[in-house]
Chains A and B, each alone.
Chain A
Amino acid sequence: MPDYSWPAMEKRKVMGTRVARVDGGQKASGRAKYASDWHRKDLLFAALLSSPHAHARLVSMDLSGAKNMKGVAAVRAIAKPGDEIQWQGAEIAAVAAETEEIARDAVRQIKVEWEVLPHVVSEKDLAAAGTRVKAAGEQVTGDPDQAFKDADATVEGFYGIPVITHCCLEPHGQVVEWPGESINYWPSTQNVSGLATDLGTALKFPPDKIKVHQDHVGGGFGSKFAADRWGVDCANLSKEAGGKPVHYFLERNVELMIAGNRPSAFAKIKVAAKKDGTITAWQSESWSTGGIGGGGSPPLPYVFENIPNQRKKHSAVSINTGGVRAWRAPNHPQASFLTCSALEDLAAKLNMDPTDLFLKNVDLTARAETYKVQIAKAKELIEWQKHWHPRSQLTAGPVKRGLGMSIMTWGGGGHTSECRTSIFPDGSVVVDIGTQDLGTGTRTILNMVVAETLGLPLSAIKVNIGDNALPKSGPSGGSTTVGGVTSSSRKASVNALAKLFDVAAPALGTTADQLEAVDQHIQVKGNPAKNLTWQAACSKLGVNRISETGFNDQRKPEGLNSSGVGGIQMADVSVDTETGKVRMNRFVAVQDVGLVVNPKLAESQVHGACIMGICAALFEERVMDKQTGHVLNPDMEFYKLAGIGDIGEIIAHMDIRPENDKRGVIGLGEPPAVGVVAAIANATANAIGVRVPEVPLTPRRVLEALGGRNA
């Protein structure tokens, strides 16, 4: 069997270097083409009629006003009389017309009669949610009652993190053209290879006749795996319009209402410890919502999963809002926030440095050694010794400074992926793989792995991704892309190179197994003077090309990738106690992800995740009006995200060490997004001396937590 293993750390020439992303120029200059940029001839624009009610029954719908409008090409009812609609923004009918304006005008001509039903849109007050609450059974480990009785110290707290939305800058949608025999589909997706099956199943149309193409995607974060209702309707509108292409993207407000959100999590938590900080018991009563389907339990206690005595109860609250979708490490940010908040409060009660408390209990985690090293590194980078103070000793003046920490873990692994590497007689190399680049740098990583394997410069290789005619690669979820595609492309390229060695060996008077590819040469191992240039070797192919595939089996990574990482994050904030404004000074993320293919891209990924976490810690929240059941901030004005001035300094430290490297490639999409809210909430508590129980940390919440102090 060929040797696919990664070159030793010190021997890598391309991998491990700080290559800038290969499509950066295209993106920065606006030349990158996104799905909504596909302006085909005769393009029609679709507009959606969405539900104005949070809960209602559709009594009747009259589409004639829309159908009779000039310029309207197709009108489709999505809901039908009798249907019970469960959230505002739900799809009711769609129109395709010659212009966006006509489509919107036509939507306004559709008449719907509703029977409005009672709604529930808030889950925070569990008692008020009544029959909407579904409690799961209590889980007990050890003897929590006894442990709480025996404890030297216990803390009790309430903590809450609200529903936030994915808020992808590129909304969900697609262009579809369905002339009859085949379908052309330009989606915004995390799942290029799998999408045709999804759409085909819904349309009862053969998936192999659906051509999917995507060059770039403007954010998915877990919300863009499926063809979705709008993909199906878009295809049907095209068909109804005689096969003309239809452009159908959600408007920002509907995007925020229905295209996915992250479940909330609220919890009453009680933790017990010995005087020295050893945690002895955990008790949590948690609840959450992810829309009508309720919300699953975050994994509690997070990371410190081996606390000996535990009692846990979780309730799911069903409310009339759009449904959840996977959001960058599903349930982990919530779990990290709930757990780390309670532990920081415990440390404060014991008058202990929280880093000491975490270290004291590190053996309750699954990767003690990793966390020990990372805590030390993070402390150094955030200057913990210099800036940390006990919660009882605040800094002087109205603006208070504080530090806080959090902990994270995630899986990763490499998804199933097939790749084809072709070497042509003129020396050119083409890599074909049906994956997608979510902005994480997948194209660049592929380019680097193949360049490394073939001993070529990056520019010698053309990477084709984003099309379902290419070898199939998995959906980008669970941080499995980089593990999958590096493995399949490595194998494909090793296989292709072996074929080239076969051709070159006779000319070099040796056997294929004696050859290696270095610096654009095929040379004899141990005797580099005996060589052929890459070009010369390839020219020996005559009129043939080499085309070899490589396959990553998710269950058999063969040492190229693995799963399971840890990270430590720390925040340094200043809080104006007169205004309740929290400002980021510095944020440190120390992150292990196994073998780091490109530190620059890895750090960039960490930066993005930290920014997203800062948004969630300080600003993001879906605000529901209980009376109308409406979302009040389905826009980017009051659904607040951070701007560059709100971010502060971010230090991303990749935990690159031989013991991490030898585990192979592990995904990084999700891990660094996990602990940000927790670290910032803890830093805020440290700064002002009291816990702000709920995030985002708005001036209102901070001032309320400070209580009468400033009144």
Chain B
Amino acid sequence: MQRFAYANPATLKEASGLLGNSWDDAQILAGGTDLLSLMKEGLTAPKLLVNIKNIKELTAIAPEKGGLRIGAAVTLDELAENALVRRQFPALVQAALGITSPQIRNMGTMGGDLCQRPRCWYFRQGHGLLAMRDGKSLIPAGENQYHAILGNSGPAYFVSASSFGPALVALDASMRVVSPSGTRDVPAAQFFVTPKDEASRETVLQPNEILTAIHIPAAAAHSATYEIRQREAIDWPLAAASVVLKSGAPVIVLGHVAPIPWPAPEAGKFLAGKPLNEETATEAAKLALQGAAPLSQNGYKVQLARVSVKRALLAAAKGA
């Protein structure tokens, strides 16, 4: 790990002022569960770490106009244990509990989860975010069993790592982002982006921007996240789906199948006005994966994603 300086600001303004224009200058430190491993592996090497866990306003969960506001530094455990969240947002609680190690839930934060880097093993083993070699990605001809089956026309083939991403997109959340030049609100669906080159990142955030809070407009007791993991022990989902049932068409967003959370509007449309049962859910699941284009080793993920959609729909129908 390269040597770095450490700052521990108490206000957002102070923190914001410490960030620079490049990821090499400074990076935000929340729980550190992802950032420190990246630094240890030499995959990132900021000169300064800016701890945000001591900024009070980032650490609260509060009701807001029928919806919810979650501070970016709220830990995954705090979220999962919050009574209001448990009552109104099962999709979030299920996503949090899927992150199986209590240690990670205790340390990891909402902001950190949304901004964590991909777990693609080519990236983590030092082959770069897009795993390019001689102008070509290693992934299509490589070990791609955990890679994307949607949105994978290249050059990015990894899957978005965040388990909350799909749920927040489905919940129509927006992200409040603060920088020295002001504040902006980014809809969750636009927060995640597919990088086109090695230097880009997987969210719209710039190096000098801080995600301060997540705003969810309305309660969603009939929502669910269903993830398929191989292990009960710490493991990454092979596929996941978050679902929010609304008066019109249900909102369905797939996780861990594409470089970004992947909405499946056709599947939702199909269900509009129909009863939700095993049969309709199965049909919707098929539609959700219609566009899937698996790589050489990950055809099985299409099946897993379908099952996730079906099971998330049926769980959401049951309610919190």
Contacts and interface: CB of A to CB of B under 8 A. Distances in A.
Contacts, number: 87
B126 to A, nearest CB: 8
A121 to B, nearest CB: 11
B133 A628 contact: yes
Contacts of A711: 302-303
Interface stretch (B15-23, B55-63, B224-232): B224-232
Contacts of A579: 228, 303-304, 307
Contact of B1 (A101, A630, A644): A101
Nearest to A709: B303
A635 B138 CA distance: 20
Contact of A619 (B119, B230, B298, B303): B230
A278 interface: no
A625 B143 contact: yes
Interface in A596-631: 618-619, 623-628, 630-631
Contacts of B6: none
A695 B281 CA distance: 32
B307 A628 contact: no
Given A578-B307, A711-B303, A699 B121 contact: no
B1 A710 contact: no
A233 B233 CA distance: 37
Contacts of B2: 105
Contacts of B119: 637
A632 B1 contact: no
Given A101-B1, A578-B303, A630-B125, A640 B142 contact: no
Contact of A698 (B100, B141, B230, B299): B230
Contacts of A703: 300, 303-304
Interface in A637-665: 637-638, 640-646
Interface in A409-438: none
A409 to B, nearest CB: 31
B145 interface: yes
Given A627-B142, A632-B122, A645 B232 contact: yes
Contacts of B1: 101, 104
A710 B3 contact: no
Contacts of B299: 704
A645 B233 contact: yes
A315 B146 CA distance: 31
B131 to A, nearest CB: 9
A700 interface: yes
A291 interface: no
A644 B125 contact: no
A641 B121 contact: no
B297 interface: yes
A281 to B, nearest CB: 36
Nearest to A635: B124
B304 A619 contact: no
B121 A581 contact: no
Interface in B252-268: none
A689 interface: no
A627 B228 contact: no
A60 interface: no
B235 interface: yes
A633 interface: yes
Contact of A627 (B42, B141, B145): B141
B139 to A, nearest CB: 10
A580 interface: yes
Listed residue (A626, A632, A642) with the most chain B CB atoms within 10 angstroms of its CB: A632
Contact of B235 (A626, A640, A644): A640
Which of B124, B230, B232 has the largest count of A CB atoms less than 10 A from its CB? B230
Contact of A628 (B138, B238, B303, B304): B138
Contacts of B3: 101
Contacts of B133: 627-628
A642 B230 CA distance: 10
Given A632-B143, A700-B145, A703-B300, A646 B233 contact: yes
A710 B305 CA distance: 12
The 4 closest A-B pairs by CB, nearest first: A643-B233, A645-B232, A632-B121, A700-B300
Interface of A: 101, 104-105, 108, 578-581, 618-619, 623-628, 630-635, 637-638, 640-646, 698-700, 703-704, 710-711
Interface of B: 1-3, 42, 100, 119, 121-122, 124-125, 127, 133, 138, 141-143, 145-146, 228, 230-236, 238, 297-300, 302-304, 307
18 contacts: A580-B304, A581-B228, A625-B138, A626-B142, A627-B133, A627-B138, A627-B142, A628-B127, A632-B122, A632-B125, A640-B231, A643-B231, A646-B232, A646-B233, A700-B297, A703-B300, A710-B303, A711-B303
